[in-house]
Structure 1
Amino acid sequence: MTLMSCPDCQGKLSDKAFACPHCGFPMVQQKGRSAWPGVIGGVAGTYISSQALIAMVLGSVMFIAFAAIMIAAIMR
């Protein structure tokens, strides 16, 4: 793994990064290499990794489940 400069903000990032962690600038992909499942879509010029998306969804589900249990305990 080598570090290179982002063409947009000149920040340092890995040569294997899909997007710049500083500014979200998408990096050019090599031919024959798919971004799926490493990167899912782009929102406002930034990319989100599938691992981060799974963590957010799982965290939301756990929060809602905990809130439902606490509400049920209070209503008893």
Structure 2
Amino acid sequence: MVKTVSAAEANREFSKLMKLAESGERVVVTSRGQPKVQITRVEEADSEKAQRREAFDRLTERLNSQPAQNLPRLTRDDFYD
């Protein structure tokens, strides 16, 4: 869905328009009746998402493969000598 607003209205209600854009709506700002600017949600690039997912999966796999350490439980007093 596209919402069209004037530049003056966009100036007054910018926070509201940002929330609309974040929810997926496209906002077109006009000046003297002509479309000038489009406000849309920023989408993370697919390759960047894939890289982050791969890094997270590698970290999770590594942490799951390490044996749990049986360390003694520490109290707050143990940190002060």
Q: TM over 0.5: same fold?
A: no
Q: Which has the larger radius of gyration?
A: 2
Q: TM-score under structure 1 normalisation?
A: 0.32
